[in-house]
Structure 1
Amino acid sequence: MSGRHRKPEDEPEQRTGLDATERRAVLLSTVFRILGTPVVAVAGLVSAGLVIRATGPSTYGLVALVATVGLLLPFADLGIGAVVTSAASRSRNPAEDPYALAVIRRSYRVLARVSVAVAVAAATIMAVDGWGTLLGITTGPDDRLVVTLAVVLFGLTIPAGLGLRILIGVDRAQLVVVVMVSNSLFALAVTAGMYAGGVRGIWYVLPPLAGALLGNLVGTVVALRVSGLGTTVFERSSRAVSTKGLLEGSLWLFIVSVGIPFGLQVQRIVLSHLSTPLELSRYALMAQLYGLCWSVFSMAALAFWPIFVKRRGAADETVRLWLGATMGFGLLAALASIPLVAISPWLADVLSDGSIDVSATLAAAFAVLLIVQCFHLPSGMLLTTPSEAKWQAGCLAAMAAVTTLLAVAIAPTYGAPGVVLVTAAAVIVCQFIPDIAWIPRLVNRRRPEPDNQQVPVAVGAGVA
């Protein structure tokens, strides 16, 4: 998302090193994530075990597919969440900054309309009985209603998620970690309640989305309190401040946002159409375990978002930070991949009570994907200007196309391991290699921003 989302009358100072606030934000977000990961892991694994027992090994894949609708549709916020983070990070005090406040107000209004549009679209698909065609698999007559409710819940999380974006922008990423932990706990509570109440089948698509909505609402309350914005973001301003650039020039970052699910999450759709329900369930269960590792790195990367934003004019320092972050994330991911491969088959067997077998090959494929994605992750936080977004969109479009074509070709024969490995190969060829070859040049081409320059937006990790 690009657009004129900066405080136009105040040019932020250029920095060449991490200041105390930024060091604190990076450190605390890392510490909180380390402390929170066991909680998220236990909650997620217990939830998965309950869902598998309540749905059966074949239905679990469809449940996981629908429950991850937020991964398939991260572009539903039109990139406005990224705009809010950038506006908050470029303002010393968003509550006292008329422009930042105006951007956040309009963002809530626009995303409220998006939420309504998502609900209308879901109801339309239900009316024409189109979910089975879209998902490639059905479990029974309840699918129409339940999947529609799931998508409506997802739509409500879109404006509710702006609170997390505000927290990132004001260097409170550690609080985002707390909110994400609460998401898992809310989802577990709903799942356990349904299981205890004897609910079975497709209805288990709802707890993860309900948990995300409840957690995002908590995050909104915390963000508005911490930032000092309060309820003013829901009031009409008495002072006219133009925010007409909110959606201006958003094409390239919209393409980037669309490319993320088609490149990295399309495997679920491909498997649901071209493979067996059990193979989809194997993929879904291993993806659950992979997601525990990925969430640690993606959350840590978000702490670098405002750091890169504030250093647009310091090219050498930016490149040094990016190279250090790239190597650090990649090497740590390589270390994390060892236990991921070693224990995932055993964990999957325990969680599914032996009904879903995850092979060492599938675990190794996800480990490779984790490593290559983490090597690329800091680049998504760095590529911020409209021209860089255009460049990134091209890389992502290529990655999405390669992944989709190869996944369709090999899914019937090689199943889940095949589609994961072709995704990893596409990330290397279409994203990581171009990162290394071009990013230093792109950063060195930057020029100091005039007062009306567009505020940067970083993409790559996302907050669901």
Structure 2
Amino acid sequence: MTGRHRRDEEPGAIGAADDSSALGHSTVLDPAERRAIVLSTLFRIAGTPVVALAGLISTGLVIRATGPATYGLVALVATIGLLLPFADLGIGAVVTSATSRSRNPGSDVYALEVIRRSYRVLSQVSLVVIGLAVVVMVFDGWGTLIGLTTGPQDRLVITVAVALFGLTIPAGLGLRILIGVDRTQLAVVVMVSNSLFALIVTAGMYLTGVQGIWYVVPPLAGALIGNLTGTVLALKVSGLGRAVFLRSTSRIPTRTLLEGSLWLFVVSLGIPFGLQAQRVVLSHLSTPVELSRYALMAQLYGLCWSVFSMAALTFWPIFVKRRGQAEQTVRLWIITTGAFGALAILAAAPMIVASPWLAQLLSGGTIDVSISLAASFAMLLVVQCFHLPSGMLLTKPTEARWQAGCLTAMAVVTTVASISVADEYGAAGVVAVTAVAVVLCQLIPDLTWIPRMVRRREPESPVISTGVPVASERA
């Protein structure tokens, strides 16, 4: 079997024609794509009660072990992966696209080299993250960075948590590979297992009498265990195996292997401003109780958001495979945008009604969530879901650059507005202004510019055989 890599050819080259015909010339999805969408959605829906139950039990245990005031700080540190999604430098997105374009990553030299280099770079990033955490610990700087402290043990515990997060960075590539090879349902299973692993660690700590800040560890430990499991599964399902960890013997230039990751990195820089940076604003400008309200409501919001975001990820490889079909891509984007928005509206009403009651139940009556806070999160869910398909569509380097511009504007508006309202309006205020920022800086530009951007796409460089057997690299 032979591998493939990209080479500049005339748009009418045979390789391009073959790829185009293989994809189908309409918005109709092929059987594998339909299966991936249906199974990933069903798995996510089936897994949501499991994640919810695990998360709710974990939350109840943590609140009882830490108290309502400390819970906000624990949730802030424990969700550092959401606060720093840019740690993978946009490389995870490139891996998804590379595997999506490949018919068989296990015998594709180009895809193999992209994944191999990605693991190498992200392993180095992991070491840098751990090193920086140790430096902050040495200078006792965590209290200054976070804005809150529970005592002298914070410096060690938070450093351990950040180190665990650093290790999850390269381990997370397994999920990207699964999504790229239309096995999103398996990625869902891995993500569900993260919650179960975290619950096991949390319950073990609670039963042994652990108290306080140490509860930042279970979610990150669960994510690491789950991501490592996902990596093993992804390498087996894709056919890549251990080849991704072996020294390369191919002659493919490595300089452009991660092309486009810079702008996707900039995009990921703005992601925390959709929900996570507000925790930091509240920790500095509001009260610990208000931060705890935000953290608890954000967890309830995450149950709904996870269903939509995982379903959207299934469309990433679908859009990648149709890059040469402008009109069909635009029609598919319009359909998915409308569908995601409509379903989010249906989910918003139950969220508003049920969240205050669930918050009382989970916290044992110690943390209250108002209707206004629940409504603000519901509004954010709707506008973010309307934007979701656009994020899956615009993954070419020039399009990622455009996304980066919109997201930067959203980040600036969100930060300034959140700082302005945090003191007076608390958690509900920062979420409401975030929703407005998403509409102004992302949703309106999406509807205005995306159709013309897609129609102006240049033809994709074809994928051709290199005659380099991957099997020889595994020997």
Query: What TM-score comes out, normalization by structure 1 length?
Result: 0.94
CA distance in 2, matches of 1:401, 1:130: 25
Q: Which residue matches 1:34?
A: 45
Aligned equivalents of 2:87 and 2:420: distance in 1? 29
Other-structure match for 1:275 = 286
Letter in 2 for 1:129: D
1:7 and 2:18 equivalent? no
Residues 310-329 of structure 1 show CA distances to partners (whole Å, capped at 9, x for unaligned) of 00111111111111111111
Instruction: Note the residue ranges of structure 2 that are not aligned, 5 or more in a row.
Output: 8-14, 465-475
Alpha-carbon distance in 2 for matches of 1:75, 1:449: 27
Q: Distance in 2 between matches of 1:295 and 1:7?
A: 34
Rounded Cα–Cα distance in structure 2 between residues aligned with 1:176 and 1:283: 28
**The residue matched to 1:245 in structure 2 has which SS?**
coil
The SS at the match of 2:257 is helix
1:61-118 deviation per Cα after TM superposition (whole angstroms, max 9, x unaligned): 0000001101111111111111111111111111101111111111111111010000
Aligned residue type for 1:42: L
Matched, 1:162 2:173: yes
The one-character-per-residue Cα deviations of 1:392-423 (angstroms, maximum 9, x if unpaired) are 11111110000000000110000000000000
Counterpart among 397, 407, 416 of residue 427 in structure 2:
416
Secondary structure of 2:35's aligned partner: helix
| Cα offset, 1:27, TM superposition | 0.8
Aligned counterpart for 2:318 among listed residues 307, 312, 325:
307
Deviations along 1:426-461, one digit per CA (max 9) or x if unpaired, are: 0001100111111111111112123499xxxxxxxx
Aligned to 1:196: 207
State yes or no: 1:266 paired with 2:264: no
Structure 1 unpaired stretches of 5+:
1-5, 454-464
Offset from partner CA, 1:276-299 (integer Å, 9 cap, x none): 000000000000000000000000
1:64 equivalenced with 2:72 (yes/no): no
What SS does structure 2 have at the residue aligned with 1:398? helix
CA distance in 1, matches of 2:142, 2:54: 29
Give the letter for the 1:155 counterpart.
G
Larger CA Rg, structure 1 vs 2: 2
Q: Which runs of 4+ in 1 moved over 6 A?
A: none
Q: Provide the secondary structure at the position in 1 that maps to 2:6.
A: coil
Partner of 1:172: 183
Q: For residue 460 of structure 2, what is the amino acid of its counterpart?
A: E
Q: How does 1:377-416 map to 2 (within 5 A)?
A: 377-416=388-427
Q: Which amino acid aligns with 1:115?
A: S
Q: Which segment drifts farther, 239-248 or 218-227?
A: 239-248
Q: In the alignment, is residue 445 of structure 1 matched against residue 456 of structure 2?
A: yes
Question: Deviation at 1:231?
Answer: 1.1
Report whether the alignment pairs 1:96 with 2:107: yes
Tell me the matched-pair count.
Answer: 448
Partner of 1:3: none
Describe the SS at the equivalent of 1:7: strand
Percentage identity across paired residues of the two chains: 72
Show the counterpart of 1:457: none
Question: Which of 188, 198, 209 is matched with 2:220 structurally?
Answer: 209
CA contact (8 A) 1:169 1:306 kept: yes
CA–CA separation in structure 1 for the residues paired with 2:32 and 2:112 = 22
Task: Provide the C-alpha distance between the structure 2 equivalents of 1:181 and 1:350, rounded to a whole number of angstroms.
Answer: 23
Q: Residues of 1 paired with 2:166 and 2:100: CA distance? A: 26
User: Counterparts in 2 of 1:87-166, with a 5 A limit?
Assistant: 87-166=98-177
Question: In 1, Cα distance between the equivalents of 2:341 and 2:110?
Answer: 38
CA RMSD of aligned residues (A): 1.4
Q: Which amino acid aligns with 1:337?
A: A
User: In the alignment, residue 447 of structure 1 is paired with which amino acid?
Assistant: E
- C-alpha contact (below 8 Å) 1:80/1:246 kept by paired residues: no
Q: Which residue is equivalent to 1:53?
A: 64
The CA distance in 1 between the partners of 2:355 and 2:461, in whole Å, is 51
With 238-247 and 57-66 compared, the bigger mean Cα shift is at 238-247
Provide TM-score, normalisation by structure 2: 0.92
Partner of 2:85: 74
Give distance in 1, aligned partners of 2:90 and 2:455.
25
Q: Which residue does the alignment assign to 2:468?
A: none
Give the whole-Å Cα distance in 2 for the aligned partners of 1:253 and 1:224: 24
Are the equivalent residues in 2 in contact too, given 1:7–1:91 (CA < 8 A)?
Answer: no
